């Protein structure tokens, strides 16, 4: 191997090592408040699912499941703000790699969330008689996209913010609005809900091309979000 290639490979290896360091720290941040809340957050949706045993219960539990995973990203930002970012300054990892770490973890969260949604779907099909497992499977892709969307929006906000309360309140507000819309679904004007459902039906009938386009858009937005976050964080001073 030429020395240039060797140098490039060593570079890649050290960058890989740096990325892993950053991810390990982010994961430590996740569990900063303890491990016990997570099984609760992740299993609560199943409880609601079995409590309601209907479409509404399913929607509710899918929303809870996806939002919980998305919100984990904000937990990392909260720990940083609370400890004053100084560990971030000391760690021998370049800032853009620290940002990359969050996006990689965000993707992992999205994948885990979609698996959880598949499980919710499975449980629902076992608990409710006329539930079509197959017809509802695309929701796993939907869950993936929802978590990616949450992460896409919240990582830059996490880097921008210097207020723990700001982050936590913001997260709660969005969650409440999200749930409110869901709960009020049946109260919304029929024409509106019908047209929304109609859109979903159209999308559903062209599932594959829609999924492909959707994923392409998601990837593009993810990349843009990364660029924005990296820029915010590079310029951040504390």
Q: Is the dihedral of CA 57, 109, 119, 202 positive or negative?
A: positive
189 sits in which H/E element: none
Residue numbers 206-235 binding other proteins by CB under 8 A = 235
**How many angstroms separate the CA atoms of 119 and 140, rounded?**
9
Tell me whether residue 190 or residue 235 sits nearer to other proteins (CB atom): 235
∠ Cα 77 83 86 (to 5°): 95
Quick one: which of 73, 74, 79, 155 contacts other proteins (CB under 8 A)? 79
Stretch that binds other proteins, among 2-10, 84-92, 134-142, 184-192 (CB under 8 A): 84-92
Q: Which residue has the tokens 């994923």?
A: 215
Stretch that binds other proteins, among 20-28, 64-72, 143-151, 210-218 (CB under 8 A): 20-28
Shortest approach of other proteins to residue 14 CB, angstroms? 7
**How many angstroms separate the CA atoms of 111 and 105, rounded?**
10
Residue numbers 148-177 binding other proteins by CB under 8 A = none
How far, CA to CA in Å, does 179 sit from each of 14, 48, 60, 167? 44, 14, 8, 18
Stretch that binds other proteins, among 11-19, 54-62, 128-136, 220-228 (CB under 8 A): 11-19
Q: Is the dihedral of CA 35, 105, 155, 88 positive or negative?
A: positive
Residue 30 in contact with residue 102, Cβ under 8 Å? no
Tell me whether residue 53 or residue 95 sits nearer to other proteins (CB atom): 95
29 binds other proteins (CB under 8 A): yes
**How many angstroms separate the CA atoms of 107 and 225, rounded?**
13
Stretch that binds other proteins, among 53-61, 92-100, 157-165, 179-187 (CB under 8 A): 92-100
Per-residue binding string, other proteins, 31-50, x by CB under 8 A, is -xx-----------------
- Which residues contribute to the site for other proteins (CB under 8 A)? 14, 17-18, 21, 24-25, 28-29, 32-33, 79, 82-87, 89-94, 235, 237-238
């Amino acid at each position: 191997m030429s020395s240039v290639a060797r140098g490039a490979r060593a570079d890649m290896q050290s960058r890989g090592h740096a990325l892993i360091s950053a991810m390990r720290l982010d994961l430590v941040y996740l569990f900063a408040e303890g491990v016990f809340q997570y099984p609760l957050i992740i299993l609560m949706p199943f409880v609601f699912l079995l409590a309601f045993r209907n479409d509404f219960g399913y929607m509710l539990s899918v929303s809870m499941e996806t939002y919980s995973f998305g919100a984990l990203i904000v937990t990392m930002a909260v720990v940083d703000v609370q400890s004053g970012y100084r560990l971030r300054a000391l760690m021998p990892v370049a800032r853009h790699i620290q940002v990359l770490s969050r996006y990689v973890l965000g993707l992992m969260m999205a994948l885990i969330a979609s698996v959880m949604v598949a499980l919710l779907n499975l449980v629902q099909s076992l608990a409710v008689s006329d539930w079509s497992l197959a017809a509802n499977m695309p929701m796993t892709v939907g869950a993936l996209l929802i978590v990616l969307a949450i992460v896409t929006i919240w990582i830059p906000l996490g880097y921008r913010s210097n207020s723990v309360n700001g982050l936590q309140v913001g997260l709660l507000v969005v969650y409440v609005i999200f749930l409110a819309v869901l709960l009020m679904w049946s109260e919304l004007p029929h024409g509106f809900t019908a047209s929304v459902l109609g859109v979903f039906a159209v999308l559903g009938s062209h599932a594959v091309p829609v999924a492909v386009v959707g994923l392409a858009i998601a990837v593009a937005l993810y990349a843009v979000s990364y660029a924005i976050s990296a820029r915010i964080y590079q310029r951040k001073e504390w």
